Amino acid sequence: MKRIVAGIVLSSASVMSFAGTAGGEGCGWGQMLFDGQSGTATHVLALTTNSSTGNNTFGVTSGTNGCNASGTISYGGKEMVNVGLFMDEFSSDVAQGDGEVLSAVAVSLGVAPEDREHFKASMHENFATLFPSENVTTEDVLAAIWSVMQNDETLAVYVS
């Protein structure tokens, strides 16, 4: 069940879209082969072409294949962890200091097994910070999680 919840937590995140693409726009053979085309299948095929042949890695390091490393990479999607679908269950788990959704979020954030109990305890101790009102949004909860983790000596390594 934990794997299902973790998978849903991760898969419910929005589709990643890079505002500044690694290697620059048009980097790799996949971009060249599918230039001017659109659609999910086309994007998947272009990405698969690039990743399976390693040509964009070569392009970035050699300055060929339409690639360059001069731009800044930026992420234009939402956070990778989405607790919005399980807000009620997550808040209940945080209030109790344990539960499947809380464990799934810890796993999704990459918290090592030896630190997960500490993560759960820290979230529990900061329940009022994570959920200051009934109308708290997913973005507010995620921001509070990051803040709590950044201010915790053990958990700060996972958000740096």
CB 97 within 8 A of CB 121: yes
- On the question of pLDDT at 79 being above 60, the answer is no
- On the question of pLDDT at 74 being above 80, the answer is no
Of residues 66 and 73, the one with the higher pLDDT is 66
Q: Is residue 3 part of a domain?
A: no
Is the domain of 51 the same as that of 107? Answer: no
- On the question of pLDDT at 7 being above 70, the answer is no
Domain containing residue 99: 83-158
Q: Is residue 68 part of a domain?
A: yes
d(CA 126, CA 88): 16
Domain count, the chain: 2
Residue 37 burial (CB count, 10 A): 11
- On the question of pLDDT at 78 being above 70, the answer is no
Residue 20 burial (CB count, 10 A): 12
